[in-house]
């Protein structure tokens, strides 16, 4: 009897996996469109011309700038995020809940608004260290969120066992706690690394040259497609290197807890005399990441005397931004779901190749994704300057955000629950929807919030692909700042923050809810 039941069960699982593989393949093919576009331009250009465009001093300079930016920013973000997460989640830091919220709040401020704020305060702020400082302040929450959430979920019994063996507290942290934060650190670092590769507005204002700023400048100034696409090809290789490093460090370990009972609540460490010095870290980060933008925006809003708030374009830009953000978040999350499940439940070489095709596109600047879609929609499908094309561009650009969030949420759901549902007669796809995704709902909501925030501040692809007459908060802000109308741009920046704040609050709330707090 058991043998006759096992065969249909195994066949159902195989059919479910094949269905998800098929969906993941479709998304991967769509994600490969920009890469295909770059290769097509390379072939048309010819190897002699392409090599001359790649192997030149300017490319070496951009590569050094990009590597230095990654090498300085990522370790600083990791150290600050881990320290801040430990203070707010594992110590008796006064006002820990408030500091936790303030650590996430900078996500509501677009990266190019951070640079706008700092340039408004210190007009001579340019170069590598200025770019690193603003990048850390803008992107630190991408690491703080997963690390703090993971700290809340850890079972302190392992730490107690290590302490009982005579290990000092700092050794317990390094040998027991830190290894269990590996997935959270790798996922957050990957998101930050991809953003550093793809960011344009922040570095354009700071006047720090990266591959992305060079690509956009190349298109805007000389419309030299081959030269810009060769730079994009080097950028793709940089992304692949980052992906390979993340996969190597992440490994295959599982961190879901299965067993009777629940983990004991964590006893917060007493800081004692270190309490006052410990407060300096969250206070400094909140002051630099929130205080500076708030001060600069208030100053420019006061300088405008309220006239900019009466512009009819303001309400239209707000409505269109909200509509695109919600629609794009839904489409992107649905597109990333099959690959997220395969990455956690059926890891393997093929799956990792598919996963890499989902990730690499997040490192491309929006202008490259947009140009690839322009080529396809003009020559093959008559969808140029349509809402569908804009949503496809958003889905491709923000797949990494959705995939990291979904992967983390699914990884926290024990696979045994999913298998139990299948053994009781549920079809595999229904079991995934009714059990896995239902339990991973906090992660799903969080990744949708992350995608929506990204769409709210997206600039280049919207400018190139949106239907005529489309105005968003980001495009209007950028247009006014290019005209040096900082007072006129301030209301658009303020509305982007207002629109992102509820999403940031949702992200923070879901992060705490996922860990039972």
* C-alpha separations of 304 from 119, 214, 466 in Å: 18, 33, 29
What number of CA atoms fall less than 13 Å from residue 357's CA on the CB side?
20
Question: Residue 76 corresponds to which tokens in the numbers above?
Answer: 């600083």
pLDDT of 166: 63
pLDDT of residue 136: 95
Q: What are φ and ψ of residue 95, in 5° steps?
A: 70, 35
Residue given tokens 């649905």 in the structure block: 334
Closest to 153 measured CA to CA, from 442, 402, 396? 442
Residue 199, pLDDT score: 87
Residue 269: phi and psi, rounded to 5, are: -75, 140
Contacts of 115 (CB under 8 A, 6+ apart): 134, 201, 202, 203, 205, 206
CA angle 301, 306, 310 (to 5 degrees): 125
Taking the alpha carbons at both ends of the chain, their separation in whole angstroms is 45
The reported pLDDT for the residue numbered 513 is 65
SS (H, E, C) 293-318: HHHHHHHHHHHHCCHHHHCHHHHHHH
Write out the two tokens for 181.
């934060």
Structure tokens at 383: 């969808």
Q: Is 339 in contact with 409 (CB distance < 8 Å)? A: no
Stretches where the chain sits below pLDDT 50 are 1-13, 15, 256, 258, 260-261
Return the pLDDT at 5.
Answer: 43
**Two structure tokens written together for 121:** 């305060």
pLDDT of residue 390: 92
Q: Which pLDDT tens digit goes with each residue over 282-300? A: 999 999 999 999 999 999 8
CA neighbor of 449 nearest in space, from 371, 387, 369, 513:
513
Beta bridge partners of 269: 91
What pLDDT does residue 515 have? 56
Distance CA 380, CA 293 (A): 44
pLDDT value at residue 12: 44
Reported as type and span, the H/E element at residue 161 is helix 157-164
- The contacts of residue 298 (CB under 8 Å, 6+ apart) are none
H-helix or E-strand containing 391? helix 387-397
Tokens 């497609």 correspond to 225
User: How does 431-447 read in b/e, with b if 16+ C-beta sit within 10 Å?
Assistant: bbeebbbebbebbbbbb
Q: How far apart are CA 485 and CA 351, in angstroms?
A: 48
**CB contact at 8 A, 144 and 87:** no
The first and second tokens of residue 155, run together, are 């079972």
Asked if residues 372 and 389 have their Cβ atoms less than 8 Å apart, the reply is no
DSSP of 78-129 = HHHHHHHHHHHHHB--TTHHHHHHHHHGGGGS-HHHHHHHHHHH-TT--SHH
Alpha carbons 255 and 8: distance in angstroms, whole number: 30
What is the CATH architecture assignment of 9-251+300-514? Orthogonal Bundle (1.10)
């Amino acid at each position: 009897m058991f043998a006759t039941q096992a065969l249909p069960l195994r066949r159902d699982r195989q059919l479910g996996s094949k269905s998800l593989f098929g969906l993941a393949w479709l998304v991967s093919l769509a994600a490969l469109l920009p890469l295909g576009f770059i290769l097509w331009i390379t072939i048309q250009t010819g190897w002699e011309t392409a090599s001359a465009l790649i192997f030149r001093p300017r490319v070496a300079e951009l590569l050094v700038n990009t590597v230095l930016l990654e090498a300085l920013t990522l370790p600083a973000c990791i150290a600050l995020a881990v320290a801040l997460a430990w203070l707010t989640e594992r110590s008796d830091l006064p006002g820990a809940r408030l500091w936790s919220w303030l650590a996430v709040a900078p996500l509501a401020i677009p990266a190019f608004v951070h640079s706008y704020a700092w340039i408004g305060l210190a007009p001579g702020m340019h170069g590598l260290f200025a770019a690193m400082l603003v990048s850390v302040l803008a992107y630190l929450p991408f690491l703080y969120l997963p690390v703090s959430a993971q700290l809340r979920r850890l079972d302190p019994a392992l730490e107690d066992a290590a302490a009982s063996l005579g290990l000092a507290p700092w050794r317990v942290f390094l040998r027991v706690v830190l290894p269990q934060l590996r997935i959270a650190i790798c996922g957050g670092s990957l998101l930050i690394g991809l953003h550093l590769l793809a960011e344009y507005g922040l570095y354009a204002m700071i006047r720090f040259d990266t591959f992305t700023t060079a690509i956009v400048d190349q298109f805007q100034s000389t419309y030299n497609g081959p030269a810009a696409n060769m730079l994009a090809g080097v950028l793709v290789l940089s992304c692949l290197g980052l992906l390979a490093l993340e996969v190597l460090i992440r490994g295959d370990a599982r961190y879901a807890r299965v067993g009777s009972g629940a983990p004991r609540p964590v006893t917060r460490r007493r800081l004692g005399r270190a309490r006052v010095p410990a407060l300096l870290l969250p206070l400094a980060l909140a002051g630099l990441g929130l205080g500076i933008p708030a001060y600069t925006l208030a100053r420019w809003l006061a300088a405008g005397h309220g006239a900019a708030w009466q512009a009819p374009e303001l309400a239209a830009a707000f409505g269109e931004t909200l509509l695109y953000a919600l629609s794009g978040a839904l489409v992107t999350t649905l597109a990333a779901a099959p690959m997220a499940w395969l990455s956690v439940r059926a890891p393997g070489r093929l799956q990792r190749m598919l996963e890499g095709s989902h990730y690499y596109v997040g490192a491309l600047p929006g202008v490259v994704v947009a140009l690839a879609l322009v080529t396809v929609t003009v020559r093959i499908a008559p969808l140029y300057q349509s809402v569908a094309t804009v949503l496809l561009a958003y889905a491709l650009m923000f797949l990494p955000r959705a995939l990291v969030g979904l992967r983390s949420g699914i990884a926290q759901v024990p696979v045994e629950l999913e298998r139990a549902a299948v053994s009781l007669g549920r079809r595999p796809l229904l079991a995934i929807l009714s059990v896995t995704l239902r339990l991973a709902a906090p992660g799903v909501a969080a990744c949708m919030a992350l995608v929506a925030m990204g769409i709210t501040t997206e600039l280049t692809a919207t400018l190139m692909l949106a239907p005529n007459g489309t105005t968003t908060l980001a495009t209007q802000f950028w247009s006014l700042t290019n005209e040096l109308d900082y007072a006129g741009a301030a209301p658009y920046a303020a509305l982007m923050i207002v629109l992102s704040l509820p999403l940031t609050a949702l992200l923070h709330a879901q992060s705490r809810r996922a860990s039972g707090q």
